[in-house]
Structure 1
Amino acid sequence: MNEIINLSNPIVEAQPLFGASLQELTGLMENLGQPPYRARQLYEALYAQRTPSLDQITTLPATLRTTLSSAGYTVGLPELLQTARSIDGTERYLVRMADGETVETVWMPGGDGGERGDGTQAAEEEEHPTHDDDDYKRATICISSQVGCAVNCQFCLTAKLGIRRNLTPGEIAGQVAAVLNRHKVEVGRDRINLVFMGMGEPFLNYAAFMDAVRLLTGPMSIPESRMTVSTSGILPGIQQFASETIRPKLAVSLNASNDVVRESIMPITRKWNIAALLEAISAVPLRPRERVTFEYVLLGGINDQRQHADELIALLKNLRAKSQAKINLIVWNSGPDMPFHEPTPQDVGIFQKRLRDGGIPAFIRKPRGRDIYAACGQLKRTLESPPPTPLVEIAL
């Protein structure tokens, strides 16, 4: 949260409360002459109850709500400006922040199979789904961490945007709250997984990302074992991540079996090569049965041949020997003016079998929302300068 505004200043700007810590809210209540328990009431309303507006926080006196509003405070959840719905049920949202910047967030009912083989309860649900889906919701939310992205992966549409700015902890966790509210999710009953795999590189916005994780695991009560963060391989971020006591599962976008190919599609390899990444990843302490996920986007004729699979097996031999690695194969999702093509189904099948025969659990991630540009690598801010209009349902 930004610094608490001076209540004596007659010129106030909108100040979102969502994203503030309990300590910050306690300081605010003290400034207003309120007892400390009012901070706890506000904290629970913001995060546990996900109350969207101050006037709906009925645990606070009406006079206090009026005082907060007059001082410029709002709950400040990001706004779901537009939504597009896929034929497979996936929803892609254009999400607007208080300053007008937009990102995209995705809701995938049933998930996309990304957790399979990672050794967690979420994986168990993916691998052995039950037939009582009418009794609860099971879905995955894909969250953005930056407006745009600076990493410049050549196969990703988000890279074409460049980087605009980092998101705050409240804007990151707020995407989750806004989507949970839209679908009336009951945390603790419904089975929701979070993947930090939307727009941006989370480890280039590390402090805000981890503060958002603490909000999500703390007052919002979503277990860390139901979260996965994907990084393109930011070495200092991986090293810092290894020391965290509360952390999501780790996924690394590898996408190549050698540095030459990886550098051609992921220029960041010039700074940190594959060997350096694997060394840092091997130092991340894993939970019992947990595996690091290596994401591998298959690009036809570039990284999808048998020799590439054999190189991958050799690369991951140490992690493979300790049963600490799995690979998610992602068939490239096309985009306009992109110089790539999808691999053939035969090549995908051969590649997966070769990895499995080499002792690496390899899964093909199910593409979700391809028809609405909601799949991996397709998020691109549908509107560059969205007008201030309410949520619009786009039938595609």
Structure 2
Amino acid sequence: MMAALFGKSLPELTELLTALGQKPYRARQLWDALYRQRVDTVDDITTFPAELRQHLTADYAIELPQMVQTAVSVDGTERYLMRMADGETVETVWMPDGDGVENTDDAEDSADHRADSRLTSSRKLDARGLPVDKRNWGALAEAGYRRATICISSQVGCAVNCQFCLTAKLGIRRDLTAGEIAGQVAAVLNRHRVQIGKDRINLVFMGMGEPFLNYDNFMKSVLLLVEGIGIPASRMTVSTSGIEPAIRRFAQETIRPNLALSLNASNNVVREQIMPITRKWKIEQLLDAVREIPMTKRDWVTFEYVLLGGINDQPQHAHEVLALLKGMHAKVNLIVWNPGPGIAYTQPTPEHVDIFQQTLIRNGLPTYIRRPRGRDIYAACGQLKRTVEPDKPAETLVQLTA
């Protein structure tokens, strides 16, 4: 395989080009081409002379992840199978108007969410899964889309083994590099012709893998996305199952996304049953680590809570959550469990979901229900599983409907 350019920092690019006898300003040109312009090939770097492009292509390639399959939900969500240079694959999700809970403390986002309208499932789509009469972001915005969220994977598979998650069944194959993590974003932005600075994009590191078990590559990808592509860290959220040492390390970072801790249970007994990682780090340890994160009055820590019927969805569980989070500047995102084959859980009843939410809200804890996106194409929370349609060639983009 050729060496990848995408994923290198500006100092790394400077070192590379200096070794080739180039002036330092060439590194800035390459940096801008990779991250601001998001070029696909070295030949697209028009600021470079032909001789330099030819020299680079002998040993280097951009190496963005390849979007080898896509599935399109009736709600407009798109799930992509992304292939890396070594053939490994992960899944990435595009949600045209978010899931209703990201940055819910942001007044501008909240106003946008109220104004959002979905594309109807009856609208004709082209081969890329985009409406035939609305093939770019600007047109989508005119149709009612004010923002979008990209859900990113950080590992091939996952080692955490949460019992309610399809990704856990894959086990762990390897970490993604910083370039492979940030490259998912670049590939999706290119597909939808997103203009950073004009169009509103949120990122959630909530796809396949545990970001804090791939901490260095995850944080390097954040810097590439902030300093290179130009997406503010305030519009990013990283979800962790609870890796205590990494949370404490995260608290020391100067540039960091918002944090979402996957709580999913109100006590250690239940949490250990559904999240075996609790045997290593108890809830109380995780909360102590979270409290080390410097926060302003505008900052919140999000706690995600997957509701499993009869397991963690009863009123007593809600009261235990209140006791755990008392005194914290926190909010809770409730996630009604998304079913998957071979997973022996059930969804809670709508009544139990409502009672749970209202119990938290009445006691002063802001609580939101995450709207399931792309459930019909296995793109919702906990459903990513490196899906390959057996009757479709890997190079074919496929459109699925419910």
TM-score scaled to structure 2, two decimals? Answer: 0.91
Spell out the pairing of 1:291-370 with structure 2 (5 A cutoff). 291-319=300-328, 324-370=329-375
Tell me the equivalent position of 2:131: none
Q: Which segment is superposed worse, 215-224 or 285-294?
A: 285-294
Aligned to 2:306, the other structure's residue is in SS state strand
Q: Name the % identity.
A: 64
1:200 aligns with 2:209: yes
2:102 matched residue in structure 1: 115
Aligned CA distance change for structure 1 residues 32 and 248 (closer, same or farther; 3 Å)? same
Match for residue 9 of structure 1?
Answer: none
1:29 maps to 2:17: yes
- In structure 2, which of residues 291, 296, 311 is the aligned counterpart of residue 287 of structure 1? 296
Question: AA paired with 2:14?
Answer: T
Shift of 1:198: 0.2
Alignment equivalent of 1:74, drawn from 38, 44, 61: 61
Cα deviation 1:278-305 (Å, max 9, x = unaligned): 1111111123311100000000000000
SS of alignment partner, residue 395 of structure 1: coil
The aligned counterpart of 2:398 is: 393
The residue aligned with 2:278 is 269
The CA deviation at 1:390 is 2.8
| Partner Cα distance (2:103, 2:359) in 1 | 18
Aligned pairs for 1:218-237 (under 5 A) are 218-237=227-246
Paired residue for 1:142, among 122, 130, 151?
151
2:398 partner SS: strand
Match of 2:71 among 65, 84, 90: 84
- Indicate whether 1:62 and 2:67 are aligned: no
Q: How does 1:12-51 map to 2 (within 5 A)?
A: 13-51=1-39
Residue identity matched to 1:22? L
Tell me the amino acid that sits aligned with residue 44 of structure 1.
Answer: D
Amino acid of the residue matched to residue 234 of structure 2? S
Q: Which residue is 1:171 aligned to?
A: 180
Counterpart residue identity of residue 158, structure 2: C
Paired residue secondary structure (1:309):
helix
One-letter identity of the residue aligned with 2:49: P
CA apart distance, 1:128: 6.2
* Cα distance, 1:243–1:103 mapped onto 2, change above 3 Å: same
Which amino acid in 2 is paired with 1:371? D
1:385–1:29 distance in 2 versus 1, CA, 3 Å: farther
Alignment of 1:53 with 2:41, yes or no, is: yes
- Aligned partners of 1:61 and 1:92: how far apart in 2? 38
Shift of 1:48: 0.6
1:278 lines up with 2:287 in the alignment: yes
Alignment partner, residue 133 of structure 2: none
Q: Which residue is 2:164 aligned to?
A: 155
Displacement of 1:122 in angstroms is: 3.8
The one-letter code matched in structure 2 to 1:366 is R
Q: Is the 8 A contact 1:304 1:351 kept in 2?
A: yes
Amino acid at match of 2:104: G
1: CA distance, partners of 2:17 / 2:214 = 29
CA deviations 1:110-153 (Å, max 9, x no partner) are 00012253347545543565999318751000000000000000
Hey, what's the Cα distance between the residues in 2 that align with 1:94 and 1:287? 38
Whole-Å separation in 2 of the counterparts to 1:130 and 1:161: 35
RMSD of Structure 2 on Structure 1 (CA): 2.0
Once the 2 structures are TM-superposed, how far is the Cα of residue 389 of structure 1 from its aligned partner? 4.4
Which deviations, in whole Å up to 9, do the C-alpha atoms of 1:3-27 show, x marking residues without a partner? xxxxxxxxxx411100011111111
CA distance in 2, matches of 1:389, 1:256: 39
Does the aligned pair in 1 maintain the 2:103–2:235 contact within 8 Å? no
The 1:265–1:125 alpha-carbon spacing in structure 2 relative to 1, beyond 3 Å, is: same
SS in structure 2 of the partner of residue 363 of structure 1: strand
Residues 305-328 of structure 1 show CA distances to partners (whole Å, capped at 9, x for unaligned) of 000001111111121xxxx10000
Q: How many residues align?
A: 379
| Matched AA of 1:133 | A
The equivalent residue for 2:256 is: 247
Of the candidates 97, 103, 122, which is equivalent to residue 84 of structure 2? Answer: 97
Aligned to 1:375: 380
Question: What CA distance in whole angstroms lies between the structure 1 residues aligned with 2:377 and 2:89?
Answer: 17
- Deviation, 1:56, is 1.0
CA gap 1:252/1:77 in 2 versus in 1, 3 angstroms: same
Shift of 1:361: 0.5
